[in-house]
Amino acid sequence: MKPKDLWSFSNLKIGSPFFIHNVKIYPIEGKLGDDGFTTIEEAIRTRSVILKDIHGVDKISIQNTGERPVFAIDGEEVLGARQNRILNVDIYIEPQKEYVVPVTCIEQHRWEGSPIFSEGGFTITPSLRSTLAQTVKESLEKKQGFKSNQSLIWSQIDITLKATRISSLTSSFHDIYKTLNDVIEELMEGLETIENSIGFLAYIKDEFIGCDFFGSNPIYRRFEKKLLKSYILDGYIRRYVKGPSIPESPEEVMSLISDSTLKKHQSPTEGDILIGNKENLLTKIFTTQGNLLHVAAFPAG
């Protein structure tokens, strides 16, 4: 299936770009879906969701004890337990439901802690999310579920730690974020919510590095700061480590997304995950009952 056959991507508008340090942001304006949920961070703060470590590093359990559905996107970090993890895919959990969801460890040398996770407040960089998405796609093609290439993720984190000369006793990606957080916050200072936006495309030196957009502006606003921080961090890291990018313009990227051939997979929670590619761009779309919640796309390679 192709996104253009299901949603009116042609009605979306690419706004005027602006820079945050070396990252060029092109806002995306329009509307594709509806709101009606809480984020995983909000749910953790109100204690309406419980995230537990279970056997192995590639799965955790998430129980929604609240009254609203919980929505989270791929690459969101949860802290604690035996190692910090990231979600492999978007998830959506109705009230009073519990699921075991696929995750990837982003902390290599710690094997102890409480069984409960806390909020991470951060999303990994688009460079790492690109690797995550590609390896999950490969796993699905092999009918092995929503697994990532754990060793490859660890390797990329180690390369980044060495290149940026950031010290981490447990080879934790979160230590990169903590070390550079003040720099990121300073770059974000004074930035206001992108009015009428549902997301953005990001470029470095006129090369596309990734994009995230959502069904509506209210959804986007709840993820905006977290996502922008991850793209700014990627811009900083790319001064030391090369990341995937492609030369296509914003209009060309949106055309590739709209015309991508995607395969639908039943989410490990509720909803469907559509994933596939067009030429050198990998696209992921998450929907629940036909309602589009999130689109992410990255250079494939």
Q: What are 71-88's pLDDT values in tens digits?
A: 999 999 988 767 889 999
pLDDT, residue 95, reads 95
pLDDT, residue 166, reads 93
Lowest-confidence pick of 89-103, 105-119, 160-174, 251-265: 105-119
- Band (pLDDT 50/70/90 cuts) for residue 301 is low
Per the CB < 8 A criterion, the answer to whether 123 and 224 are in contact is no
d(CA 117, CA 288): 26
- Band (pLDDT 50/70/90 cuts) for residue 93 is very high
Query: What's the predicted TM-score (pTM) here?
Result: 0.94
Tokens of 103: 């995750």
pLDDT, residue 3, reads 80
d(CA 189, CA 115): 36
Mean pLDDT of 96-121: 81
d(CA 73, CA 101): 12
- Band (pLDDT 50/70/90 cuts) for residue 113 is low
In sequence order, which residues have a C-beta less than 8 Å from that of residue 191 and are 6 or more positions away?
20, 228
Tokens of 149: 């290439």
Q: CA distances (Å), 70 to each of 12, 36, 151, in order?
A: 26, 9, 29
d(CA 246, CA 280): 8
Per the CB < 8 A criterion, the answer to whether 233 and 273 are in contact is no
Per the CB < 8 A criterion, the answer to whether 85 and 43 are in contact is no
d(CA 86, CA 124): 8
pLDDT, residue 127, reads 96
Residue 119 has pLDDT above 70, yes or no: no
Q: What is the largest CA-CA distance in the chain?
A: 50
Q: CA distances (Å), 119 to each of 35, 77, 244, in order?
A: 22, 7, 28
Q: Which of 2-6, 53-57, 176-180 has the highest mean pLDDT?
A: 176-180
| Residue corresponding to tokens 């390679």 | 301
d(CA 194, CA 196): 6
| Residue corresponding to tokens 């460079």 | 127
Residue 285 has pLDDT above 80, yes or no: yes
Mean pLDDT of 113-121: 68
Percentages helix, strand, coil for the chain (3-state, rounded to 5) are 30, 35, 35
Q: What are 124-148's pLDDT values in tens digits?
A: 999 999 999 999 999 999 999 999 9
d(CA 272, CA 29): 24
DSSP-based three-state secondary structure for 191: coil
Mean pLDDT of 37-55: 88
Q: What percent of the chain has pLDDT over 90?
A: 71
> DSSP H helical segments within 83-216, as ranges?
126-141, 150-164, 173-188
